[in-house]
C-alpha cells in the first residue's frame, strides 16, 4: 500500500482561522480543530486545538481522531491525539489502524454531516478531485462513510486501460500456457485479458461486440466483473476513485463524480444514489491461456503495448499480497468458514433476486458437474481442467459426463457443446442459456454480501 504524508497545503473551506481560545467553539465546526493539526506547524496552535478537542470530547470525534492520526506527521501532536483517543474509547490500541477501524465498524455509526466536510478537506490535499466525492453528499449515501478508506493512490492513479490494443492469439508470444487470463465473449467478439497486465490497471473500458463495457478488477478481493456501461440510454464513463469500501475498490463516473460499488454495480455515494441504477453484468471466465486459446483459437488478447511502462511479468503485480492470506485493508468481520483469499464462484442475479450464493472453487473442482436450484431454476456448473467455471440454466436437463473442456453428455445420451453464451445440443439444435458469473476471494465477497449462502 502506498501512503502519502499530508503536511500543509490544504485547499480550505471558509474557516474562522486557528483556535485562539475555547470561546470560538460556538463559531467553528468541531472538525475544524482536527484540521488545525495539519494547517500549522506552530506548537502553540496545535496545543490549543488539542486542548479544545479534549475539553469538548464527544464519541463522534473518534472517526475524526482516527483519520487525523492516519495522516498526521507531527509526532508530539500525534502521540497526544492517540492517548486522548485511547483514554476516551477505553481501547488499548497503538498505531494499528486496521484494529481501530474494526473497533469503530463494529459499533453503530456515529457521525453527522460534518464528517463529509472533514473527509473532503482532509483528502483534498492529496488530490483536489477527492473533495467532489464527499462535499454536500451526507444525504446522498447508502453506505457507512467511515468504511470508505483511501487506498493510497490519486484518482486514476492506477490507470485504467481505455480502448486498449488487442492482438491475435498467435502474436501473443509474451504469454505462457499457464498464465491466467480473464476471458470474455460478447456477440462473437472473444477476448482475453491476462492477469499479469490487468493487475497493473484494474480496469478497462471498451466496446466489445458492439456493447460498451467496463471490466473492473479489484486485485484486493480477487474479482473481475464485466459491466455494461449503458443503463436506460445513459452512458457512464468510469474510472478508479482511489478509495475502497470493505477492501473493494470504488469506481467513479466522470460526469457526476458519484462513487460506485464495483461488486454491487450501483452508485453508493453521490447524486446518482436513489435513482434505481443497476448495471447489468456479463460473464467472465478465469482460466489459463492454454485452455482459453484451445477453446477460442480466434480470440484477441490484450497487447503489452498499453501506453504505460510496467513490468508485465507473470505474478509480478501484487506478488506479496497474493502470496499470503493476510489482508492489506481489513473488513468489519472475517468469516472463517473459508480462508480469506480462498476463491469462490459468485452466483447472483441482481435484476431478479436478492439471493446470493458463493461456491468454493475447491468444491467445484471435486464436482466437475454440479447442479443446484437457484432462484427457482435449475443451474448446472461445469468446471474444466483449468479450474474455470461456466454456469448454464439447464431447465431440468441433467448431465452425466463432461470432457473437462467443451463437451458434455446428458442423461439421455445427447452431446452438448459448451459455448460462452450457451450450451448447444448438436443433435436437436436445442440451446440452454449461460448465466453470468465471476470468481472472487471469499472475504471480499462475503463482506459485500453478508447474507451470502456458502456451498463448500
What would the 3-class secondary structure string for 20-34 be?
A: CCHHHHHCCCCHHHH
At 12 the pLDDT is 35
Residue 14 has pLDDT above 80, yes or no: no
Own/partner contacts of 380-388, CB < 8 Å, gap of 24 or more, are 381/345, 382/408, 382/418, 384/287, 384/291, 385/291, 386/287, 386/288, 386/290, 386/291, 387/286, 387/287, 387/361, 388/183, 388/285, 388/286, 388/287, 388/291
- 5 in a structural domain: no
Residues 359-373: pLDDT tens digits? 999 999 999 999 999
pLDDT at 229 over 70: yes
Q: What is the mean pLDDT of the chain?
A: 93
Residue 181, Cα to own-chain centre: how many angstroms?
19
Confidence of residue 108 (pLDDT cuts 50, 70, 90): very high
Burial 15-41 (b: 16+ CB within 10 A, else e): eeebbeeeebeeebbbbbbbbbbbbee
d(CA 352, CA 330): 31
Phi, psi of 452 (to 5 degrees): -60, 135
293: helix, strand or coil: helix
Burial class (CB in 10 A: 0-12, 13-18, 19+), 63: buried
Judged against a pLDDT cut of 50, whether residue 19 lies above it is answered with no
Question: How far is Cα 225 from Cα 92, in angstroms, rounded to an integer?
Answer: 40
Report pLDDT for 352: 85
Higher-pLDDT residue of 224, 26: 224
Question: Does 348 lie in the same domain as 319?
Answer: no
How many helices (H) and strands (E) in the chain? 12, 29
pLDDT at 94 over 50: yes
Question: Which residue, 139, 169, 197, sits at the end of a domain?
Answer: 139
pLDDT tens-digit map of 312-325:
999 999 999 999 99
C-alpha span between 180 and 155 (Å, rounded): 27
Last residue of a domain, one of 290, 324, 358: 324
45 shares its domain with 194:
no
Tell me which of 27-41, 116-130, 229-243, 379-393 is least confident.
Answer: 27-41
If asked whether residues 307 and 419 sit together in one domain, one would say no
CATH number of the domain where residue 416 is located = 2.102.10
In angstroms, rounded to a whole number, what is the distance separating the alpha carbons of residues 70 and 65? 9
Going by the DSSP 8-state scheme, the letter that residue 5 receives in this structure is P
Is residue 256 situated within a structural domain? Answer: yes
Given a cut of 70, is residue 386 above it in pLDDT? yes
Residue 4 has pLDDT above 90, yes or no: no
The pLDDT score that the predictor gives to residue 300 is: 98
Tell whether 116 and 214 lie within a shared domain: no
Average pLDDT estimate for 275-291: 97
∠ CA 209-264-195, rounded to 5°: 55
* Dihedral over Cα of 182, 183, 186, 191: its sign: positive
Q: How many domains does the chain have?
A: 3
| 103 alpha-carbon distance from chain centroid | 22
* Shared-domain flag, residues 179 and 116: no
DSSP 160: P
The answer, yes or no, to whether residue 377 has pLDDT greater than 90, is: yes
Alpha helices in 56-112 (DSSP H): 62-71, 75-89, 97-105
Is the domain of 318 the same as that of 348? no
Q: Round to whole Å and give the CA distance between 39 and 33.
A: 10
Do 171 and 319 fall within a single domain? yes
Residue 225 has pLDDT above 60, yes or no: yes
Higher pLDDT: 11 or 334? It is 334
Region 275-293: mean pLDDT is 97
Are both 116 and 62 inside the same structural domain? yes
In the predicted model, is pLDDT for residue 176 greater than 50? yes
- pLDDT (mean) for 1-10: 38
Asked if residue 149 is part of any domain, the answer here is: no
Same domain, 227 and 262: yes
pTM, 2 dp: 0.93
Q: What is the mean pLDDT of residues 429-444?
A: 97
Q: In the predicted model, is pLDDT for residue 1 greater than 50?
A: no
Q: Which of the four pLDDT bands, split at 50, 70 and 90, describes residue 256?
A: very high
Residue 362 lies in a domain: yes
Bridge partner list, 190:
185
Reported as a single tens digit per residue, the pLDDT across 179-208 is 999 999 999 999 999 999 999 999 999 999
Is-contact 183 211, C-beta < 8 A? no
Q: Is 199 part of a structural domain of the chain? A: yes
Higher pLDDT, 244 or 25: 244
Distance of alpha carbon 334 from alpha carbon 187, whole angstroms? 39
pLDDT value of residue 376? 93
Assess whether 357 and 239 both reside in one domain.
no
CA angle, residues 116, 117, 121, in degrees to nearest 5: 115
User: Phi then psi for 350, rounded to 5 degrees?
Assistant: -65, -20
Instruction: Assess contact for 258 and 272: CB atoms under 8 A.
Output: yes
Q: Which residues have a Cβ under 8 Å from the Cβ of 410 and sit 6 or more positions away? A: 397, 398, 399, 400, 416
Average pLDDT over residues 44-48: 94
Q: What is the pLDDT of residue 5?
A: 37
**Confidence class of residue 27 from pLDDT cuts 50, 70 and 90?**
low
Residue 382 placed within a domain: yes
**Residue 184 burial (CB count, 10 A):** 23
**Percent share of the chain, pLDDT over 70:** 94
Whether 328 has a pLDDT exceeding 60, the answer reads yes
Residue 25 phi, psi (nearest 5) = -60, -20
- Please state the rounded mean pLDDT for residues 4-22: 38
- Same domain membership, residue 363 and residue 425: yes
Last residue of a domain, one of 139, 172, 191: 139
CA nearest neighbour of 22 among 51, 63, 43:
51
The answer on pLDDT for 6 being more than 50 is: no
pLDDT greater than 90 at residue 24: no
Q: How many CA atoms lie within 13 A of 171 on its CB side?
A: 13
Residue 26 φ then ψ, to 5°: -80, -20
Task: Say yes or no to pLDDT of 215 above 50.
Answer: yes
Position 144 in a domain:
no
Q: Which domain holds residue 266?
A: 161-324
* Same domain, yes or no: 238 and 272: yes
pLDDT at 353: 87
Question: How far is residue 37's CA from residue 198's CA, in Å, rounded to a whole number?
Answer: 39
Amino acid at each position: 500500500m502506498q501512503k502519502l504524508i499530508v503536511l500543509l497545503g490544504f485547499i480550505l473551506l471558509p474557516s474562522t482561522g486557528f483556535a485562539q481560545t475555547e470561546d470560538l467553539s460556538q463559531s467553528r465546526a468541531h472538525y475544524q480543530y482536527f484540521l488545525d493539526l495539519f494547517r500549522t506547524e506552530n506548537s502553540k496552535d496545535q496545543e490549543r486545538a488539542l486542548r479544545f478537542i479534549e475539553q469538548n470530547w464527544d464519541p463522534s470525534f473518534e472517526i475524526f481522531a482516527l483519520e487525523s492520526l492516519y495522516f498526521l506527521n507531527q509526532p508530539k501532536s500525534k502521540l497526544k491525539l492517540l492517548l486522548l483517543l485511547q483514554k476516551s474509547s477505553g481501547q488499548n490500541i497503538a498505531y494499528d489502524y486496521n484494529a481501530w477501524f474494526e473497533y469503530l465498524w463494529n459499533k453503530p455509526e456515529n457521525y453527522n454531516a460534518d464528517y463529509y466536510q472533514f473527509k473532503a478537506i482532509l483528502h483534498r490535499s492529496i488530490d483536489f478531485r477527492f473533495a467532489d466525492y464527499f462535499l454536500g453528499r451526507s444525504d446522498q449515501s447508502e453506505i457507512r462513510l467511515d468504511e470508505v478508506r483511501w487506498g493510497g493512490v490519486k484518482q486514476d492513479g492506477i490507470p485504467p486501460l481505455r480502448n486498449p490494443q488487442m492482438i491475435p492469439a498467435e502474436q501473443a508470444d509474451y504469454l505462457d500456457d499457464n498464465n491466467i487470463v480473464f476471458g470474455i465473449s460478447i456477440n462473437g467478439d472473444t477476448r482475453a485479458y491476462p492477469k499479469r497486465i490487468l493487475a497493473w490497471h484494474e480496469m478497462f473500458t471498451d466496446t466489445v461486440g458492439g456493447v460498451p463495457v467496463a471490466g473492473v478488477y479489484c486485485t484486493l478481493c480477487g474479482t473481475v466483473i464485466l459491466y455494461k456501461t449503458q443503463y436506460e440510454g445513459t452512458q457512464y464513463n468510469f474510472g478508479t476513485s482511489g478509495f475502497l469500501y470493505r477492501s473493494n475498490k470504488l469506481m467513479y463516473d466522470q460526469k457526476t463524480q458519484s462513487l460506485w460499488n464495483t461488486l454491487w454495480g450501483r452508485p453508493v455515494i453521490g447524486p446518482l444514489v436513489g435513482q434505481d441504477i443497476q448495471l447489468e453484468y456479463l460473464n467472465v471466465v478465469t482460466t489459463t491461456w492454454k485452455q482459453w486459446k484451445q477453446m477460442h483459437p480466434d480470440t484477441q488478447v490484450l497487447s503489452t503495448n498499453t501506453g504505460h511502462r510496467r513490468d508485465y511479468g507473470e505474478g509480478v503485480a501484487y506478488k506479496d499480497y497474493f502470496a499470503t492470506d493476510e489482508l492489506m485493508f481489513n473488513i468489519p468481520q472475517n468469516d472463517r468458514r473459508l480462508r480469506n483469499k480462498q476463491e469462490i464462484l459468485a452466483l447472483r442475479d441482481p435484476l431478479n433476486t436478492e439471493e446470493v450464493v458463493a461456491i468454493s472453487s475447491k468444491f467445484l473442482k471435486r464436482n466437475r458437474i454440479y447442479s443446484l436450484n437457484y432462484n427457482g431454476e435449475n443451474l448446472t456448473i461445469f468446471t474444466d481442467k483449468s479450474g474455470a467455471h461456466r454456469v448454464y440454466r439447464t431447465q431440468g436437463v441433467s448431465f452425466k459426463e463432461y470432457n473437462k473442456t467443451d463437451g458434455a453428455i446428458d442423461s439421455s445420451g445427447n452431446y452438448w457443446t459448451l459455448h460462452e453464451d450457451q450450451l448447444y445440443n448438436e443433435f436437436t439444435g436445442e440451446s440452454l442459456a449461460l448465466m453470468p458469473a465471476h470468481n472472487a476471494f471469499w472475504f471480499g465477497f462475503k463482506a459485500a454480501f453478508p447474507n451470502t449462502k456458502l456451498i463448500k
